[in-house]
Amino acid sequence: MIGEARELTVELGDRSYPIYIGSGLIRGVGQVFRDRDFPVQAPVLLVTDASVANLFAAKVEESLTGAGYHVTRAVVPSGENSKSLEMLDQLVETALKAGLDRQSTVIALGGGVVGDLAGFLAASYMRGVRFVQMPTTILAHDSSVGGKVAVNHRLAKNIIGAFHQPEFVLYDLDTLSSLPTREVRAGLSEVIKHGLIWNKEFVNWCEDNVERLLGLEPDALGYALYEAVV
Ligand SMILES: NC(=O)c1ccc[n+]([C@@H]2O[C@H](COP(=O)([O-])OP(=O)(O)OC[C@H]3O[C@@H](n4cnc5c(N)ncnc54)[C@H](O)[C@@H]3O)[C@@H](O)[C@H]2O)c1
């Protein structure tokens, strides 16, 4: 457990991994790297998009460098168009220039677009390196868990991809407060959809707590995301 995080485990035998959900978790990411024995000498690539970079990248870097890691930031344009082979090619170039090796880690800091793109980079660079998910949208509660990673082809979405599980998922609820209302509503509707399929009581709870959820109250949101991921 880090700080006040809710923690759950994705059970995959010796590839099981934790999901941390809570407020203020970004500042602990360096410590999680140390606790989980990520090698300090191996460079880390932080992949993020232009909107998210301005908001949170410096905090992630500060935590990692404070724990002794060398981090290179790669910023892609915000939006679905970044899930492309052209962008992957640019990221491979950045990774090579930054000296990423087989012991290295690729971090996805952003929504589902960054998660899918950075995840596919991690799955394919040197035939697979460590991958960490730091989701910053509500919708990414779905995309950051399960290991499905992909880029688009001009003829089809998500058509070039792989399964590559993260080492851990760190979901800092504080990052969600800058989300545009449209993204909040779209993400919450996915959370409720999960409940409609799996858990009627949870749907009732969402109904009773809709104002708290729309107001992004950390307690309510943390519980809802936990239930949606379980
Ligand atoms: N791999 C999977 O299992 C899976 C599952 C569902 C969806 N997806 C993929 O996820 C993608 C959609 O994800 P998304 O809805 O998160 O979109 P997104 O990643 O494009 O993010 C939406 C917008 O919000 C901005 N943003 C992100 N975090 C922010 C924050 N904290 N504050 C302010 N702005 C922020 C982004 O810059 C972007 O403009 C699609 O490409 C879809 O295919 C993948």
Residue nearest to atom 30 of ligand 1 (CA): 179
Q: Which amino acid is at 63?
A: S
Q: Which amino acid is at 128?
A: G
pLDDT at 230: 82
Place of tokens 């232009």: 50
pTM of the model: 0.97
The residue extents of the domains of the chain are 6-178, 181-229
The CATH architecture annotation of domain 6-178 reads 3-Layer(aba) Sandwich (3.40)
For 18-59, the pLDDT digits (tens) are 999 999 999 999 999 999 999 999 999 999 999 999 999 999
Q: Please identify, by atom number, the ligand 1 atom nearest to the C-alpha of residue 190.
A: 6
Q: Please identify, by atom number, the ligand 1 atom nearest to the C-alpha of residue 116.
A: 1
CA of 176 from ligand 1 middle (Å) equals 12
User: In what helix (H) or strand (E) does residue 9 lie, and over which residues does it extend?
Assistant: strand 6-10
Q: Which amino acid is at 11?
A: E
The ligand 1 site (C-beta within 6 Å) comprises 49, 51-52, 55, 78-80, 83, 110-114, 116, 136-137, 139-140, 142-143, 146, 148, 158, 175-176, 178-179, 183
Residues in contact with 186: Cβ distance below 8 Å, sequence separation at least 6, in sequence order: 138, 139
Place of tokens 């090619």: 89
Residue nearest to atom 4 of ligand 1 (CA): 143
Long-range CB pairs of 93-101 (<8 Å, 24+ gap) are 94/45, 95/45, 95/121, 95/125, 98/43, 98/45, 98/72, 99/43, 100/42, 100/43, 100/45, 100/125, 100/126, 100/129, 101/42, 101/43, 101/126
Q: Please identify, by atom number, the ligand 1 atom nearest to the C-alpha of residue 119.
A: 1
Residue nearest to atom 7 of ligand 1 (CA): 143
Whole-number percent of the chain with pLDDT over 70: 99
Q: Does the pLDDT of residue 119 top 70, yes or no?
A: yes
For 153-176, the pLDDT digits (tens) are 999 999 999 999 999 999 999 999
Q: Does the pLDDT of residue 213 top 60, yes or no?
A: yes
For 123-156, the pLDDT digits (tens) are 999 999 999 999 999 999 889 999 999 999 999 9
CA of 29 from ligand 1 middle (Å) equals 21
